[in-house]
Amino acid sequence: MGHDHSHHHETVLKTVNTAFVVGITLNLLFVVIEAVVGIAIDSLSVLSDAGHNLADVGTLALSLLAFKLMKIKSTNQYTYGYRKTTVLVALFNSMLLLVTIGAIVYGAIDRFFSPQEIPGLSVSIIAGIGIIINFGTALLFLRNKEQDINVKSAYLHLLSDALVSAGLVVGGIVIYYTHLYWLDSLFSLIIAGIILISTWKLMKESLRLSLDGVPSNIHLEEVVSLIQKVEGVKEVHHVHIWPLSSTENAMTAHLVLDPSITFDQEPELKHEIRHLLEHQNIQHVTLETEREDCKTGSC
């Protein structure tokens, strides 16, 4: 079981690694194209999308770095290794996206009052390429998106990018036929709104993990009742669950055991509990045990 689990973990890491590298390369290429075209045709919505995509490239690169750091073995100074960087990167990424939103909104409002003439079809063509690149890259992360907050955030970003691009295709066509150039600014504001919604959840979760909060996919009450159902366990207290990284979690707890459980039976009992908790996505478990009659002082 342990071997299978670690082998599966390795496979996931390899797949994710490849997805990040491909994602970074394709998106960086697209940012360059968008920036050149955006400046050439003077379209704010294309430029703000380029800025947004550049922030995503940064996000992907940081997430990849965090994944690399996760593999570094622990040291005497860092007894958990550098696993926590994955959490800090997720938090930093969400902050970075908030700054991007601010810049887009500022530019859009400024341009709203002095619309520039732009070729709508060029906007549509560029955005069309964006849909293919973003959607294609998002699919690379689809399989493993529930395994890790960084993978999930990459998936959500790329998917929202594809939606934004789809909106820009429509926007470009509308501008081409109606010559309502202020729509360029309006689409920039809509892009900002979409990014804000997807960033907000990421920010809340990464902030919770940074503060060693219980990860959102683990429920403390469930964990406690699961342990209490194990034969020989009378009570569970002093339970602490916290993230070691964006994929691994740790837990410490005190178990009050039935006096009938002998010291020889303890390892077996702990092993059973650890096995149960592995299915709850808690990989590192430390258990303290005490006997029920210890409370009266007659151990």
Confidence of residue 6 (pLDDT cuts 50, 70, 90): low
Contact 154, 141 (CB under 8 A): yes
Contact 139, 111 (CB under 8 A): no
Kindly report which listed range (59-68, 110-119, 232-241) carries the lowest average pLDDT score: 110-119
DSSP lists the bridge partners of residue 291 as 257
Q: What span, in angstroms and rounded, lies between the C-alpha atoms of 171 and 174?
A: 5
pLDDT tens digits, one per residue of 15-36: 788 888 888 899 899 999 989 9
Short-list 102, 96, 130, CA closest to 199? 96
Query: Is residue 24 packed enough to be buried (19+ CB in 10 Å), middle (13-18) or exposed (0-12)?
Result: buried
Question: What whole-number percentage of the chain has pLDDT above 90?
Answer: 16
Average pLDDT across the chain, whole number: 83
DSSP lists the bridge partners of residue 233 as 257
Confidence of residue 252 (pLDDT cuts 50, 70, 90): very high
Short-list 102, 294, 121, CA closest to 188? 102
DSSP string, 219-252: -HHHHHHHHHTSTTEEEEEEEEEEESSSS-EEEE
pLDDT tens digits, one per residue of 190-243: 878 877 887 788 788 889 989 999 988 889 999 999 999 888 898 998 999 999
Residue 156 has pLDDT above 90, yes or no: no
Coil, strand or helix: which one is 182? Answer: coil
The model's pTM: 0.70
Contact 292, 259 (CB under 8 A): yes
Please give the average per-residue pLDDT across 83-89, as a whole number: 83
* pLDDT of the residue at 287: 92
Q: Which residue has the tokens 């009052």?
A: 113
Q: Give, in order, the Cα–Cα distances in Å from 259 to each of 82, 133, 262, 267.
A: 41, 63, 7, 15
Please give the average per-residue pLDDT across 92-116, as a whole number: 79
* pLDDT of the residue at 2: 54
Ramachandran category for residue 290: left, alpha or beta (phi over 0 → left; psi -120 to 50 → alpha): beta
* pLDDT of the residue at 294: 57
* pLDDT of the residue at 265: 87
* pLDDT of the residue at 13: 73
